[in-house]
Amino acid sequence: MSLTGVPLILLAVLATVAAGFVTVWCWSRFGRQRMLVRTVGVLLSEALLVLSAGLIANRVDQFYPSWAALAGHTGAAATTVSRAAGRLDRTLHAGGAEIVPWQPSGATSWHLIGHASLVVPAGYASRRTTTFPVVLDLAGPHSAGDTVTVHLSPSAKTTAAALASLPAYLDRDVRVTTRGWAIVASMKDAVFAAELVKSAPGRFVALVLVGEGRPRPCGIAMAVVRRRAAGVPLPPGTTVLTGSGAQAWTVATDWAAGQTSPPLAASVQLPAEGVPSHRQATS
Amino acid sequence: MKLDGLAIVLVAVALVAATALLLAFLWDRTGVVLRSTVVAGCALALLVAAALQLNRMTEAYPSWSALAGTKADLPGEPPDPQPSSPVHPVALAQTSRIEQVTVAGPASGVSLPMYVYLPAGYDQAKIARYPVIEALHGFPGSPHTWIRRLRIQTYLDAEINAGRMAPTVVLLPYQTTKQLLDTECTDLTRGPKSETYLTVDVPAYARAHFRVRTDRAGWGLIGYSAGAYCAANLVLKHPDKYAAAASLSGEGVPGIKVGDGSEKTTNNDDWRLTHLPPPAVSLYLAWAADDSTSRRESLRLAGLARPPLEVTTAVVARGGHSDAAWQAMEPPAFDWLSAHLARPL
């Protein structure tokens, strides 16, 4: 019998009424035993009254839709899917700050100047279940804290569309997150960096530009590192940082790393329920 | 005797039995007036016992001082911390803890107590600034529901210790000045300005008194039941203050009248998603499959979402609208939130 069904509620209500009638009927009967009979009758009626009220409230608000729910059994199928090792994991050492050439097979279509390189953080090799966010460094090579830093120099032929294949290659080779990334770029590459941001909604959370200029907002947290705090007006919400020369890039990469998501072990996940396709959400 | 403890419920049940016995005994020995008085006593005892058990289940009035209307638990009355490992005085700094503070809100004019989860290692100051999550309770409810019924400290400790969640400061504020006044975290026209309190005063207090991130990238929300509506509504309304929110068994509309009709417009998530540009925030919608209302409402919200608003759905098979379901949702929701917030600095 369902916990929220009408039959159980009817049964409880009928039992309450019956208990009340029986208690009244017995009230002056049973001689010396009547004290006990009365007490039991009153308590039983009260208990059934509370039970009926509880069942009705539970049916209305569905606090416990089933006996299993009432017993605390959720049937939750939470899983923790460990991230597979990256193809390059064996060759990347724990020292950190080591610049490693990165030449995935699809890199030729990116039309980079030179080849890409990457830097993994200290302890990368020992933290075998951890995935790391990425700092995409368009001006380096630099190392950005506890992240996987990918350096690439775009040429005039490099497009955001062409680089759409980069995350998949990177994910195959090293343990990286799919979101919470940041971009470090020179001000001259501001437009290209903004295109990268727009080409992958949700992937990048921050962009930092080094140099003088007035970049356009691109919908994510943005910072500009320039020689002096005062200068040309920047879009509202832009963080102004100061630095020059090599120090400017250190400031930029530190800020970028601080904006990224934390390096984390594989999360506990529950099954998702699909949204009807004609009203599909973004993820 | 604790107002939300088992002992007081048992005493009330004993009182119910005593009044029933008294009624049976006195019936033949007294007149109508005393009989009526004892019958009323029976009813009152039954009501009190039921109310105490309901209070125990919801933690609406976690203490006698809350019942008396002074709201705050007395200083020094700890909220039953549940450390994941035994607490030794020497190792105190190595374990998490929950502190009680009072947030007097200059912007809202609301002054309420708040509980603050500080992760293990907070006192060692190795981390300069932590990400923050505001955890909002249901109605009726209180921060104690998170602490005692939903064991938030245990779950947070477990996720952080396992490396699935970054060390995070979690704020557990009250959302109403009166336990039986449902604000749904809005600024009531004729009531407390809860939205202002939660989105202006509480963050300002946290930034001034704890080492927390000051940028929106490091701030998130979580809530269950009415608190789930709160979390979703506040992240949609204040994307400049919060980057992500997790809704556990929520709805898209408040179950109250705000006083200015905004429950049909700006405080209605359906209206917001169909009439306003979607904000660039992330939303985690979790529900129990047998909680038909939350499922329907959450699926509708997910269906209305458009980029740059990101939505992730998560389902537990059973559990309805209960503590068990929310406990099952806590670890994945906290992991998801941490992955969608900026890291500790």
A85-117 tens-digit pLDDT: 888 888 876 555 678 899 998 889 999 998 899
DSSP per-residue codes, B213-233: --SGGGEEEEEETHHHHHHHH
Determine whether B51 is exposed, middle or buried from the number of CB atoms within 10 Å of its CB (0-12, 13-18, 19+): middle
The whole-number average pLDDT for the span A23-47 is 91
CB-based contact A38 B42, cutoff 8 Å: no
In a domain, B117, yes or no: yes
Query: Does residue B293 sit at the A interface (CB-CB below 8 Å)?
Result: yes
8 A C-beta contact, residue A273 and residue B313: yes
In a domain, B1, yes or no: no
Count of domains in chain B? 2
Q: Are residues B86 and B230 in the same domain?
A: yes
The pLDDT value given to residue A174: 94
B74-107 tens-digit pLDDT: 333 444 444 333 333 333 446 999 999 999 999 9
3-state secondary structure B7-75: HHHHHHHHHHHHHHHHHHHHCCCCCHHHHHHHHHHHHHHHHHHHHHHHHHHHCCCCCHHHHCCCCCCCC
ipTM, two decimals: 0.89
- Pick the range with the lowest mean pLDDT from A60-64, A274-278, B120-124, B175-179: A274-278
CATH number at residue B93: 3.40.50.1820
In a domain, B65, yes or no: no
How many residues in total does chain B contain? 345
Q: Are residues B31 and B76 in the same domain?
A: no
Q: Are residues B74 and B169 in the same domain?
A: yes
Q: In this complex, which of B217, B302, B321 lies closest to A205 when CB atoms are compared?
A: B217
In a domain, B344, yes or no: no
Q: Are residues B117 and B196 in the same domain?
A: yes
Q: Are residues B78 and B37 in the same domain?
A: no
Residue B321: name the closest of B249, B253, B246, B256 by CA.
B249
The pLDDT value given to residue A94: 57
In a domain, B345, yes or no: no
Q: Are residues B34 and B137 in the same domain?
A: no
Q: Are residues B120 and B251 in the same domain?
A: yes
Q: Which residues of A touch B336 (CB under 8 A)?
A: 267
Query: Does residue B226 sit at the A interface (CB-CB below 8 Å)?
Result: no
With tokens 């029933």, the residue in question is B20
Residues of chain B with pLDDT under 50: 73-93
* pTM, rounded to two decimals: 0.90
The pLDDT value given to residue A29: 86
8 A C-beta contact, residue B101 and residue B113: yes
Interface of B with A in 8-37 (CB under 8 A): 16-17, 20-21, 23-25, 27
A164-201 tens-digit pLDDT: 999 999 999 999 999 999 999 999 999 999 999 999 98
| Chain A: residue whose CA lies nearest to B343 | A262
Determine whether A249 is exposed, middle or buried from the number of CB atoms within 10 Å of its CB (0-12, 13-18, 19+): buried
Q: Measuring CA to CA, how many Å separate A126 from each of A93, A253, B153?
A: 9, 24, 28
Q: Are residues B90 and B32 in the same domain?
A: no
Interface of B with A in 227-246 (CB under 8 A): 240
| Chain B: residue whose CA lies nearest to A237 | B240
Q: Which residues of B touch A180 (CB under 8 A)?
A: 339-340, 342
Q: Are residues B52 and B148 in the same domain?
A: no
Residue A231 has pLDDT above 50, yes or no: yes
Q: Which residues of A touch B295 (CB under 8 A)?
A: 273
- Provide the residue range defining the domain that includes B253: 70-339
Interface of B with A in 38-67 (CB under 8 A): 42, 46, 50
